Chains A and B, each alone.
Chain A
Amino acid sequence: MNSRYEVVIGLEVHVQLTTKTKIFCGCSTRFGQAPNSQTCPVCLGLPGALPVLNHKVVDYAIKAGLATNCQIAPHSIFARKNYFYPDLPKGYQISQFELPICERGWLDIELEGSEKKRIGITRIHMEEDAGKLLHADGQSSSVDLNRACTPLLEVVSEPDMRTADEAIAYLKQLHQIVVYLGICDGNLEEGSFRCDANVSIRPWGQKELGTRAELKNLNSFRFIKQAIEYEVERQAELLDDGGKVVQETRLFDADKGVSRSMRGKEEAHDYRYFPDPDLLPLKVSEDWIDQVRSTLPELPQAKLQRYQQEFGLPAYDAGVLSAEKPVAEYFETLVALHDQPKICSNWVMSEVLGALKDKGIDIVDCPVTPAMLAGILKRIADSTISGKIAKQVFDGIWSTGKSADQIIEEQGLKQVTDTGAIEAIVNEVIAANPGQFEELKGGKDKLMGFFVGQVMKASKGKANPEMVNQLLKKKLSA
């Protein structure tokens, strides 16, 4: 990133909410339905139709506000944002302008190797989405209004970020929160979590902000980073050459890795915002806020802290396990059944997440439930099986759905702890490799591993490795 100038970034994020019905009518928000099949006079903007607020959307907005440390406004107003576009049926979007539902929040971000940094959240407001234009034949366009009137939250940050990495850290945390809250499916590619970035630069030490460009069409974290870095470089080159940055909206082209101007300041719309006379001012009581607060889950940042403090996990483990709510739930269920957090963490991070990734399965559909996994860990703890055999048991449960004990029993995987039986195998292995045994005796310690391995192999992994070690040492000193 360019070091000649200080970079200033503010972000506007549109979070599509997962309520069952739309924000101002009773139509379903389901995707993938036949065009215009999820519509009614209200979301089609037919003459005479009127909006009625879906209170579930308010619940979700309050959730988002509480989770991002915002003040929840006791009195907020819906406003009309007026502009013409074929995907906007009424010719205005119902949004919030002067009095949004949430204001003055913040998130703390932490980048590796630097201090915690607080990013301000200016406001969160509720609004309706527009429909979609379909350009099928290149000749004409069609409009699908299934998405029209589906609920969105717009989360506006303060211009507090100074690098693309900070912007990404903020976005990832916000993304994690809305998904954790269960108010958004978090899909960036499908547009459920959309980000616009306002980027400007200024010479170090300058107080006033530089002229900003607004970047649009950023549908992955990678593209957001690319687009910001491209924009900073573009603006720096302009200033270096004695030019000026103009206020404009730029569209990022992910294929080419560049952005191009979409519209300048003079083409900017005058949205003629005014309070929507069809909707009453929204009153949110303390009781309403308390009731929503009582439904808030423990958030990822809190879990991250708790896993380190309460479970003594390393920060890395705590980060992986708390990143996604279903993983955290799996882990917490497992620990509740098997009170050895670090062992549980190892198993979840390596075996469980690894197998899920290989098979492309979601953790909520994991064939090895926390209870089944606890069954394995219990048998390791009481020395019935070794850690290595345990992985075989895990695979067995995965493919059959049987319990750990059933698999151990059926496949005869019980660890051999009978000294006589192990000693017999040790003797066989020594007899088969007399030369190496002499070398081992002569001080070539490296061969110890070879002998342990041979014994384990001969026992099909069932010999208790510790006992094998002890017996071999006894033979050496004999």
Chain B
Amino acid sequence: MSFQNLTIQQIRKKLIAGELTSVALTRACLERIQATNHQLNTFITVCEKEALAAAEAADEQLAAGNAALLTGLPIALKDIFNTLNVRTTCGSKLLDNYISPYDATAVQRLREQGAVIVGKLNMDEFAMGSSNENSAAGAVRNPWNSDHVPGGSSGGSAAAVAAGQVVATLGTDTGGSIRQPASHCGVVGLKPTYGRVSRYGVIAYASSLDQVGPLARNVEDCATMLGVVAGYDPADSTSVDCPVPDYLENLAAGVSGKKIGLPKEYFIDGLDAAVKQAITAAIETYRQLGAEIVDVSLPHTDYSVASYYLIATAEASSNLARYDGVRFGVRKDEGAGLISMYQQTRAAGFGDEVKRRIMLGTYALSSGYYDAYYLKAQKVRTLIRQDFLEAFEKVDLLLTPVAPTPAFKLGEMINDPLQMYLSDIFTIPANLAGTCAISLPCGFSQEGLPIGLQLIGQPFAEADLLQAAYAFEQATDWGGRSPELS
């Protein structure tokens, strides 16, 4: 059974009409995962028993006429979300044995709307990475070409959607971790405004930048998923008490009369030719759809990668201190005392990239260096946010590439972390500014790898962003394509 050409709303109608059961749909997903996971390595944990039980319960709800927004829909979660009584590893060896005693708020909201959680998705360890190669569970393969990475850190979340393993997934985005893999895998990924979705129960990488968002096959499904998980949560002091609109309501409003800005700093030399061509064509499409295209400048863009890698790593160095082997996780202890237990646990439990970022961040916060690094980075961040606010006085949206190149090959960049960091150059600024952005398919390279388009919206203007993305999706046929898996 294939659901790949249907939206969540269409599947929902079939479920409600009794043309389809959640059990059948869930089984189809489980079979698809079974058939393709060895090739893609998207799932760290598959919750077959729990998923089928939830599907049966959903079918009872459907039969009783009590369908909630996602009743019976098989979805999967990046393994960064705490999931009650389910292994939650965050892609780390250190949490290999960790069974969470609670649900993240976003997970709870999905459950309340009847979603069936099929499993936990592969990711770069502690969300640190742009290729999904930094996972204790092994690298994820790009469904379009298994020699290539799916992007990261939500690589499993993007690849699973592209491969039709589930209807939709949740990921997290700290510097592009939803948008970049969505772009590399040819799906739609939305990073909401900071504070739009609760971070409670989401394992922290960089607290002031992390944000939860959906990945799905189309814009409408992203809108549906966002509507479920968005909203104020008293358990997250940084979530914002701002009403959640119905994102589906005016999805087809179009972009006629909208002003779309092209930040000149994003159209640089070194942009891959295929990417450049696809973006240029996308700009033309928007012009034809009635949008006004305006040149703008975000002058502090150049400093965004540097300030990001100071702020994010500083926060990470502190956030990851709790993985000390004392209360949970994999403890390594040869009985040589407390300090030795800490050292062995963390040396064995963390991968290279995590260690690298902890060291960077520790250094940035150290006495004598704090002002020069962390504090200065925060000041730059303020300037970058200012850039965006000023640009949004002139335009409604910004249009940029998601990544400078399509998905690179496995192993191609793993030994050049700096080059890897630079691949996040177009996605990082929206995190620093705390605003919302979406990645959607806008073309393919000659090798058949997807290319993504990024739209950046004003804070809490996810509805505008989704409308503009929907207009493009309807006007082109780049979205919704499925890779052929051997």
Contacts and interface: CB of A to CB of B under 8 A. Distances in A.
A86 B326 contact: yes
Interface string A6-47: 000000000000000000000000000000000001001111
Interface string B298-331: 0000000000000000110110111110111000
Contacts of B323: 47
B328 A86 contact: no
Interface string B199-234: 111111011100000000000000000000000001
B366 interface: yes
B236 interface: yes
A50 B235 contact: yes
Contacts of A50: 199-200, 235-237
A358 to B, nearest CB: 49
B367 A272 contact: yes
Nearest to B315: A277
A91 B321 CA distance: 5
A84 B104 contact: no
A274 B82 contact: no
A315 B315 CA distance: 56
A352 B207 CA distance: 58
B362 interface: yes
Most buried by B among A47, A90, A274: A47
Contact of B324 (A47, A51, A84): A84
A76 to B, nearest CB: 14
Contacts of B100: 46-48
Given A80-B318, A82-B321, A84-B321, A45 B237 contact: no
B95 interface: yes
Interface residues of A, number: 28
Q: By DSSP majority rule, is chain A's interface helix, strand, loop, or mixed?
A: loop
B104 A143 contact: no
B321 A270 contact: no
A53 B199 CA distance: 16
Contacts of B234: 52
B322 A272 contact: no
A47 B95 contact: yes
B425 interface: no
Contacts of A186: none
A45 B328 CA distance: 10
Interface size class of B (residues with CB under 8 A): 35 or more
Nearest to A86: B326
A272 to B, nearest CB: 4
Contacts of A270: 366-367
A52 B105 CA distance: 14
A143 B327 contact: yes
A49 B201 CA distance: 5
B423 interface: no
B332 to A, nearest CB: 15
B470 interface: no
A46 B321 contact: no
B21 interface: no
B102 interface: yes
A92 B365 CA distance: 13
B87 to A, nearest CB: 12
A279 B204 CA distance: 14
Contacts of A143: 326-327
A51 B321 contact: no
A140 B234 CA distance: 39
Interface in B331-386: 338, 342, 362, 365-367, 370, 374
Contacts of B200: 48-50
B124 to A, nearest CB: 16
A280 interface: yes
B18 interface: no
A278 interface: yes
A400 to B, nearest CB: 54
Cβ-closest 4 pairs across A and B: A91-B321, A277-B208, A272-B365, A277-B207
28 contacts: A44-B327, A45-B322, A46-B82, A46-B322, A46-B327, A47-B88, A47-B95, A47-B98, A47-B203, A47-B204, A48-B81, A48-B199, A48-B200, A48-B201, A51-B237, A52-B236, A82-B317, A90-B321, A91-B322, A272-B318, A272-B362, A272-B365, A272-B367, A274-B365, A277-B206, A277-B207, A277-B208, A280-B238
Given A45-B322, A47-B95, A277-B315, 15 more contacts: A41-B82, A46-B327, A46-B328, A47-B98, A47-B203, A47-B204, A48-B100, A48-B200, A49-B201, A50-B237, A82-B321, A82-B365, A143-B327, A272-B318, A273-B365
Interface of A: 41, 44-53, 80, 82, 84, 86, 89-92, 143, 270, 272-274, 277-280
